[in-house]
Chains A and B, each alone.
Chain A
Amino acid sequence: MGDNGLNALLNAATASAGDAQMLCEDIAQQLFPRAPNLPSEAVLASTRLTLQKLVSGIETALGLASANAVPQSWDILCRSGLLREPALLEFALARLAEEKIGERLDHNGTALFGQISTRLLQSDDAIIADCARALLLAENLAQLRTADSLVKQLPADLLHLLVWRVVAVFQMDRDTASGLVAEGQRLLCAHDEAEAVGAAAAKLVYFLPDSDRAALDDPLSAGLALYVSGLAQDFRLPHDRILRFIDEDHPAPLLLMLRARGHDAQAALSIVQYLRGRRADDQLLPELLQQFGELDPKEARAEILRWRLGASPVWKAG
């Protein structure tokens, strides 16, 4: 057998052996999913697309752009498990939620940008005006929905993780690896996580004067980013988690947050319909709202605290 034949045999044997090993893991995930509601095909496809866009954005920034829609490092990143990072997936899912909520707000004919941040541009307080400007710039950038703008939304630690994983994939191929580390460092140094929507909104909410804080209770005047950041600050939950709660199939997480804030049923209904639109899943709303008033806001807050602590209502092992 010639060299080529031997290599083909070796490669096939290695691939099959790898399959046998990995298959158990893949089957376990399909047979024993943990989330009670399985993700739809649409969610899986959109998440994959967002991650591909992120990796493409990083490859382009590293000078490794290709004409293909699928990034060059994608296949290895997927198979090696380098993308199996819950924080990365949460980022992708939150962008999906953000996009869906944004589309609904546009569809409702309401502006995505809140009145507060536009007004605060004129603030006499330089830091408030700067924060408002940074938020509006970040929101405008995010609206572009390009690979580059998506990369700019990444928190610094996630970008750091992703850049070095992409670089590691290319380093397997010495022909393309030259200078990549320097490019990676340049990309990281140029990144400022404060330019992301979530970070800019969090800073503005933090420094917002008391006179403007009441407006954070109303998503229409606050705008999506500030409203979400207000909730995030109130419940000490990540901005992206709040976005996902708002867009959850079930309206209950959002309702619970509204109850914890002390809203009455009528105000809650109006906020839920504003942010979620009229969805098939919200047929349960009338029934849920009947119980809404009976729930003590302190109890609702205590339950949200459990979410923050990561408590799971089910047994978890393996």
Chain B
Amino acid sequence: MQHHPPRLALPINCVVDAEGRLQAADAAVRRLHSGNGGVEGGVLAIPGLLDLASLCWRIGLRLERTVYVADKDHDLELWVEAEKKDKAIHLSIVGWQERASAPRAPFLMPGLPHRPEKRISFPAMLVSADGIILHASAPLIEAFGPDWLVAGFDVYFDVVGQAGGFAGLLQAQTTDPGRIEVEHRASGALRPVLVNVVQSEAGAIVGARLVFMAEDRMDGVKPVPSRGSGAPPSGLGLGRHFATAVRQPLGRILANAETIGAELNGPISEQYSSYARDIASAARHLSELVGDLEDLDAIDKPGFKVAREPVELGDIARRVIGLLALKAADHQIELVAPPADIHGNVVGEFRRALQIVLNLVGNAIRYAPDGSRITISIDPIDPSISVEDEGTGIAEDDRERVFRKFERLGRTGDGGSGLGLYISRKLARAMGGDLAIGSAQGGGARFTLRLPAA
């Protein structure tokens, strides 16, 4: 490992704007940035450098400090000068040393002191190769109670569609990593779970990290629907392997970021935990975007068809509320379901109708004020389902615009792709119905999905 000389003949430079976005960079910084998942023009994805740039921006003073950066199988110890010039931060790396990676904290094992002061925000667990649950985060204990912690994974959970219990799962995951579905035996609850197999330095499987995802995140990692090899080229021309190819690495990024955030490899500083959550959030957003693009790819294709099956809109409403209840609770938003005795019997494709209503309620949660109410109602006479929120509504002039592709009405940074409503209306029309927008009584937005009566 190179140790000296650390000084560079020519400094490596980069420029970061007030928002932390990388405006310009020499090749070495670009490599580190993209290696960490950064995108061109995106926020600098090298935490130590970003911290220094943020501090320099905040105080406006010239700084020179050591910055540690993880790079592949080693760490970098950089000497960096930072200066605020022309409404940007100029970072100049004048020293560059490769160092062995800092030792990672050992796994938390039974008997080691627990560190309750660290807030672990992801429902995640660490399971040994022989199926013993070594550690579980607070949200999992809250969800399933504490008793199951003393037993093996197989006693309390069943891996759906996987023979051989946890041992079989480990074996399968080493060759085909990704998402699984787990059933909590006592409650029958099904949860999507991201699996990350942990191997020793010698390559032996020592266990796995499991991150339990909320139901509403399922579509971020949903299995790719199979397409016939003879499918005609799509409007977007993404190719049938696009989603598979992109979703798999995204799933790994998401799993890793969530397990880092859960601190299952040992405690990390709150700041890094926060970075991990940001990475997970970005990966989730990208994953959702891939899903949207995939749908777009399908529905823009000539001859796109949907199934015709009986669909009950009340059932759709209750499922959507079940899936998004946690997300709404995060914002103290109340989801109001239609009365159980009101039914809306229509014809369409069940999963597509569910997808549309999920999109409508998800949007309402995203844009309605915290503490407000979202009401889902059903008209049994002219069968339709409506979603009303108590937000600021959408101006009359903008109402048709929201259904355009990539239309965000000027909104940014909220995790939306601008494709959801476009796709939803296309799907509604493909089922012989329509998706319309209006005003709720309180001035909020009201979206109504109409489908042909059964």
Interface flag for B160 (CB, 8 Å): no
Interface flag for B55 (CB, 8 Å): yes
Interface flag for A209 (CB, 8 Å): yes
Interface string of B71-106 (1 = CB under 8 A from A): 000000101000000000000000101000011111
CA distance A96 to B167 in the complex (A): 57
Using C-beta atoms within 8 Å of the partner chain, give the interface range for chain B: 20 to 34
Task: Say yes or no: B61 contacts A302, CB within 8 Å.
Answer: no
Task: Say yes or no: B117 contacts A315, CB within 8 Å.
Answer: yes
Interface flag for A186 (CB, 8 Å): no
Interface flag for B348 (CB, 8 Å): no
Cross-chain contact of A210 among B4, B61, B118 (Cβ < 8 A): B4
Task: Say yes or no: A312 contacts B61, CB within 8 Å.
Answer: no
Cross-chain contact of B269 among A188, A206, A207, A310 (Cβ < 8 A): A310
One of B62-70, B194-202, B332-340 at the interface:
B62-70
CA distance A317 to B116 in the complex (A): 9
What are the residues of chain A within 8 A of B66 when measuring CB–CB? 202, 206, 233
Task: Say yes or no: B61 contacts A188, CB within 8 Å.
Answer: yes
Task: Say yes or no: A312 contacts B117, CB within 8 Å.
Answer: yes
Task: Say yes or no: B63 contacts A206, CB within 8 Å.
Answer: no
Task: Say yes or no: A316 contacts B64, CB within 8 Å.
Answer: no
Count the A-B residue pairs with Cβ separation under 8 angstroms: how many? Answer: 75
CA distance A130 to B105 in the complex (A): 38
Task: Say yes or no: B79 contacts A188, CB within 8 Å.
Answer: no
What are the residues of chain A within 8 A of B143 when measuring CB–CB? none
Using C-beta atoms within 8 Å of the partner chain, give the interface range for chain A: 20 to 34
Given contacts A309-B266, A309-B268, contact A160 B103 (CB under 8 A): no
Interface string of A299-318 (1 = CB under 8 A from B): 00110011001111101110
Interface flag for B391 (CB, 8 Å): no
Q: Which residue of A lies closest to B64 (CB)?
A: A194
What are the residues of chain B within 8 A of A306 when measuring CB–CB? 105, 267
Task: Say yes or no: B59 contacts A203, CB within 8 Å.
Answer: no
Interface string of A187-218 (1 = CB under 8 A from B): 01101111000010011001101100000000
Interface of A is mostly: helix
B379 → A minimal CB distance (Å): 51
What are the residues of chain B within 8 A of A313 when measuring CB–CB? 113
Task: Say yes or no: B268 contacts A302, CB within 8 Å.
Answer: no
Interface flag for A48 (CB, 8 Å): no
Task: Say yes or no: A207 contacts B6, CB within 8 Å.
Answer: yes
Task: Say yes or no: A157 contacts B55, CB within 8 Å.
Answer: yes
Interface flag for A100 (CB, 8 Å): no
CA distance A127 to B103 in the complex (A): 31
Task: Say yes or no: B105 contacts A156, CB within 8 Å.
Answer: no
Interface string of A141-166 (1 = CB under 8 A from B): 00000000000000011001000000
In chain B, positions 302-361 with a C-beta closer than 8 Å to chain A are none
Q: Which residue of B lies closest to A156 (CB)?
A: B61
In chain B, positions 98-127 with a C-beta closer than 8 Å to chain A are 102-106, 113, 115-118
Task: Say yes or no: B269 contacts A309, CB within 8 Å.
Answer: yes
In the complex, the 4 A-B pairs of residues with the closest C-beta atoms, listed nearest first? A316-B117, A160-B59, A156-B61, A210-B4
Name 17 A/B residue pairs within 8 A (Cβ), A-sorted.
A127-B7, A157-B58, A157-B59, A199-B64, A203-B64, A203-B79, A206-B95, A206-B97, A207-B6, A210-B3, A236-B68, A298-B103, A306-B105, A309-B266, A310-B267, A310-B269, A311-B105
A residues contacting B by CB (< 8 A) are: 127, 156-157, 160, 188-189, 191-194, 199, 202-203, 206-207, 209-210, 233, 236, 298, 301-302, 305-306, 309-313, 315-317
Q: Beyond the given A199-B64, A207-B7, A236-B68, please list 4 additional residue pairs across the A-B interface where CB-CB is below 8 A.
A: A160-B59, A192-B62, A306-B267, A311-B118
